[in-house]
A and B are shown apart, each in its own frame.
Chain A
């Protein structure tokens, strides 16, 4: 465990931004932080980054990272990007590197490494305002990576990137993961979360709604969903047909109708089915369902 958040609270006057959130980030894992706009993700990140002080609760870093230089061990890519646009790429990155506690030599080495890795070496003497939005985004990412921190917090790292650069950044993130670096990723691109994240956290209105391994969560929310190839299924109170296309039915089991009930029902059909398999729901569906259900409960 590299980061442990326990019962965290933060309010701004009457606005309760974070309400009793707890979770862990494991070493070398990638955690997806999900939530609708205004859910409290940025506040949560700023609390971890020590930009805001919590009203209650605790943020504990692993022993070797805790202490006075805590900020040196966490790389941060904020959602709202910021760079000294009138300054040169290399100078800006060196400044951020030294601010992260690196010596000038270390900073120089790391800056050179990441500039080369992200194919930005030719721009080292270029002023940031002359770079394209995508390249500025890559420089921004390097500023978060420059100290090679054990924990990285990236807020919307793919925004503004074309598919080629997105693929490059994903590759870099995989490399970092392999090097044992833990990454906390906040994004609205659910397919990226499914591909990259080992765990997900879903927050809404300051509450943590979901927390667990990505595949487990998908599995859990897909348990009542099945896809059946074969003849079109008749209407039945035990299930709801979500879709039927090209001989493939996607159904959702209604309350009181179990998988065994479904199997018995299918066995009794006059025309046999070709196959039956659980239907893996896209994360975006789960996201919408959980947030809407939470909204209804609160109302």
Chain B
């Protein structure tokens, strides 16, 4: 055990003394932060240029109005803040939101957001000016005195026909109809109904009581947080894992290839067994991974706390996340080291070891399926296959669709596999690190493995 510790500490110290470690560890979050700031800055630039474009537009923010029906009141229209607010609760949500069976409170939030977005289309208030006929308005539009004009049909109260005439195609999405729509709704409702009835008319089913006669027992309504969790957790896991494994194993593989090339490995094997050497290197790598994770957590503490709070992650979630991160990391590191030892140089070592990264990524191909069917046979099987278990457990954990015993069993299988792979990998490692010349093909590898100790 002491020898494993000695190798582990050396691997750890050698790595963290290298500037490349700090560049990778500090550089990655810094790169993410800089990318985010840069993207935001580009967005602001684009927004600024958009506002600037609008401000500098030749067309003034004046909308013409031809209303032979006499329904509109321009004084009122030019003071939209005085108009009674229209409750848009009755506006149907886009299908995608209904599909995920949102709770009512969330629907209201989204509707409120849609209303704000609709209103936000008009960043600056318009001034409405009356015109007696279309040719007069068209002349004003041609002379760029107005931005656009509405034509309300004389029989609007019956046929609800109206027209919006724009200067050119570019203005199609730049003229909001929100104020006019709100104004017309109020005017029509005011013309026919008592103001107290307005809300009932706009949302006649607001008191609708839903009764489920034959509720489905198996499929419970989906929760938005669960949906978000089921994507955020595995993506966070994958990003962290890939960042950690790629940056640290690359250096460890380089060190190992160097030891192989300069034959230090033979001296090491005269002092420690290949099992001990392998275990020490893997644990050293694990320590490096945890150090990186800790540094990244410190860097991104505030965003992480926000996400954790928003998504209601429990301590349990974090423990399982960290446990499977470490287990998955150790398994991946073991395989990468064992197979990487077969390479003559860092390129060959990387080729041998990259296979395992793809294997770990496999559950991502079934992401939607696992989220939709967390208890299916495939999800269960992937939960217990060590290479896919980490990501699958994290996905199901995000959904809250995994039992404690399943997490426990998967974790035990994962750790046992790490231990077995250290032993198995040590055999390969011993064979690989003493091997010189051309790397074996898979058939040669099987044959060599059969003849190995």
- From the candidates B262, B264, B430, name the one contacting A51 in the complex (CB within 8 A): B430
Contact call A71/B271, Cβ cutoff below 8 A: yes
Contact call A101/B2, Cβ cutoff below 8 A: yes
Which chain A positions have C-beta within 8 A of B273?
50, 71
Query: A51-B434, A53-B453, A99-B272 are contacts. A76–B447 as well, Cβ < 8 Å?
Result: no
Contact call A96/B430, Cβ cutoff below 8 A: no
Tell yes or no: A117 within 8 A of B by CB.
no
User: Whose C-beta in chain A lies nearest to the C-beta of B269?
Assistant: A51
Tell yes or no: A52 within 8 A of B by CB.
yes
Q: Enumerate A62-99 residues with CB–CB distance to B below 8 Å.
A: 71-72, 74, 76, 78, 80-85, 95-96, 98-99
User: Whose C-beta in chain A lies nearest to the C-beta of B277?
Assistant: A99
User: Whose C-beta in chain B lies nearest to the C-beta of A143?
Assistant: B267
Query: A51-B434, A85-B262, A101-B2 are contacts. A78–B270 as well, Cβ < 8 Å?
Result: yes
Question: In whole angstroms, what is the CA distance A9 to B269 when docked?
Answer: 20
Tell yes or no: A100 within 8 A of B by CB.
yes
CB distance from A108 to the nearest CB of B (A): 15
Tell yes or no: A13 within 8 A of B by CB.
yes
Interface code A116-143, partner B: CB below 8 Å = 1, 0 otherwise? 0000000000000000000000000001
Of the four ranges (under 10, 10 to 19, 20 to 34, 35 or more), the interface on chain B belongs to 20 to 34
Which chain B positions have C-beta within 8 A of A101?
2-3
Query: A82-B264, A83-B264 are contacts. A100–B271 as well, Cβ < 8 Å?
Result: yes
Question: In whole angstroms, what is the CA distance A255 to B439 when docked?
Answer: 53
Tell yes or no: B127 within 8 A of A by CB.
no
Query: A51-B270, A71-B271, A74-B270 are contacts. A95–B6 as well, Cβ < 8 Å?
Result: yes
Which chain B positions have C-beta within 8 A of A46?
266, 434
User: Whose C-beta in chain A lies nearest to the C-beta of B10?
Assistant: A95
Q: Compute the total of residue contacts between A and B using a CB distance below 8 Å.
A: 60
Query: A71-B272, A74-B270 are contacts. A99–B6 as well, Cβ < 8 Å?
Result: yes
CB distance from A55 to the nearest CB of B (A): 9
Contact call A99/B453, Cβ cutoff below 8 A: no
Interface code A42-65, partner B: CB below 8 Å = 1, 0 otherwise? 000010011111000000000000
Query: A71-B271, A96-B271 are contacts. A13–B447 as well, Cβ < 8 Å?
Result: yes
Chain A contact residue count (CB 8 A cutoff): 27
CB distance from A9 to the nearest CB of B (A): 13
Query: A80-B263, A82-B265 are contacts. A13–B271 as well, Cβ < 8 Å?
Result: no
Contact call A99/B271, Cβ cutoff below 8 A: yes
Contact call A82/B270, Cβ cutoff below 8 A: no
Interface code B236-264, partner A: CB below 8 Å = 1, 0 otherwise? 00000000000000000000000100111
User: Whose C-beta in chain A lies nearest to the C-beta of B259?
Assistant: A82
Which chain A positions have C-beta within 8 A of B269?
49, 51
Question: In whole angstroms, what is the CA distance A95 to B267 when docked?
Answer: 11
Contact call B262/A83, Cβ cutoff below 8 A: yes
User: Whose C-beta in chain A lies nearest to the C-beta of B444?
Assistant: A13
Question: In whole angstroms, what is the CA distance A80 to B273 when docked?
Answer: 19
CB distance from B5 to the nearest CB of A (A): 10
- From the candidates B267, B271, B272, B451, name the one contacting A82 in the complex (CB within 8 A): B267
CB distance from B389 to the nearest CB of A (A): 32
Contact call A78/B266, Cβ cutoff below 8 A: yes
Question: In whole angstroms, what is the CA distance A170 to B403 when docked?
Answer: 69
Tell yes or no: B338 within 8 A of A by CB.
no
User: Whose C-beta in chain A lies nearest to the C-beta of B3?
Assistant: A99
CB distance from A171 to the nearest CB of B (A): 24
Chain B binding surface SS class? helix
Question: In whole angstroms, what is the CA distance A96 to B269 when docked?
Answer: 11
Which chain A positions have C-beta within 8 A of B451?
11-13
Which chain A positions have C-beta within 8 A of B268?
99
Question: In whole angstroms, what is the CA distance A85 to B451 when docked?
Answer: 33
Tell yes or no: B285 within 8 A of A by CB.
no
Tell yes or no: B7 within 8 A of A by CB.
yes
Q: Enumerate B399-451 residues with CB–CB distance to A below 8 Å.
A: 430, 434, 447-448, 451
Contact call A80/B266, Cβ cutoff below 8 A: yes
Which chain A positions have C-beta within 8 A of B430?
51
Question: In whole angstroms, what is the CA distance A99 to B7 when docked?
Answer: 8
Question: In whole angstroms, what is the CA distance A11 to B451 when docked?
Answer: 8
Question: In whole angstroms, what is the CA distance A80 to B261 when docked?
Answer: 10
User: Whose C-beta in chain A lies nearest to the C-beta of B7?
Assistant: A99
Which chain A positions have C-beta within 8 A of B270?
49, 51, 71, 74, 76, 78
Contact call A78/B271, Cβ cutoff below 8 A: no
Which chain A positions have C-beta within 8 A of B267?
76, 78, 82, 96, 143
Question: In whole angstroms, what is the CA distance A84 to B10 when docked?
Answer: 12
Contact call A81/B447, Cβ cutoff below 8 A: no
CB distance from B215 to the nearest CB of A (A): 64
| Most chain A Cβ neighbours within 10 Å, of B2, B10, B267, B448 | B267
| Most chain A Cβ neighbours within 10 Å, of B3, B264, B267, B270 | B270
Query: A95-B6, A99-B3 are contacts. A51–B266 as well, Cβ < 8 Å?
Result: yes
Question: In whole angstroms, what is the CA distance A100 to B265 when docked?
Answer: 14
Which chain B positions have C-beta within 8 A of A84?
262, 264
Interface code B110-137, partner A: CB below 8 Å = 1, 0 otherwise? 0000000000000000000000000000
Question: In whole angstroms, what is the CA distance A149 to B299 when docked?
Answer: 49
Q: Enumerate A214-254 residues with CB–CB distance to B below 8 Å.
A: none
User: Whose C-beta in chain A lies nearest to the C-beta of B265?
Assistant: A82
Which chain B positions have C-beta within 8 A of A82?
259, 262-267
CB distance from B254 to the nearest CB of A (A): 12
User: Whose C-beta in chain B lies nearest to the C-beta of A76?
Assistant: B270
Question: In whole angstroms, what is the CA distance A101 to B3 when docked?
Answer: 7
Which chain A positions have C-beta within 8 A of B263?
78, 80-82
Which chain A positions have C-beta within 8 A of B262?
82-85
Interface code A155-185, partner B: CB below 8 Å = 1, 0 otherwise? 0000000000000000000000000000000
Which chain B positions have C-beta within 8 A of A52?
453
Which chain B positions have C-beta within 8 A of A53?
453
Which chain A positions have C-beta within 8 A of B2?
101
Which chain B positions have C-beta within 8 A of A95?
6, 10
Contacts beyond the supplied A76-B267, A82-B264: 14 A-B pairs with Cβ under 8 Å: A51-B266, A74-B270, A76-B266, A76-B270, A78-B266, A82-B263, A82-B267, A84-B262, A84-B264, A95-B6, A96-B267, A99-B6, A99-B268, A99-B272
Q: Could you jot down 22 A-B contacts, CB within 8 Å?
A: A49-B270, A51-B266, A51-B269, A51-B430, A53-B453, A74-B270, A76-B267, A76-B270, A78-B267, A82-B262, A82-B264, A82-B265, A82-B267, A84-B262, A84-B264, A85-B262, A95-B6, A96-B271, A99-B3, A99-B268, A100-B271, A101-B2
Which A residues contact B (CB, under 8 angstroms)?
11-13, 46, 49-53, 71-72, 74, 76, 78, 80-85, 95-96, 98-101, 143
Which B residues contact A (CB, under 8 angstroms)?
2-3, 6-7, 10, 259, 262-273, 430, 434, 447-448, 451, 453
Instruction: Give the top 5 A-B pairs by smallest Cβ distance, nearest first.
Output: A82-B263, A53-B453, A82-B264, A76-B270, A99-B271
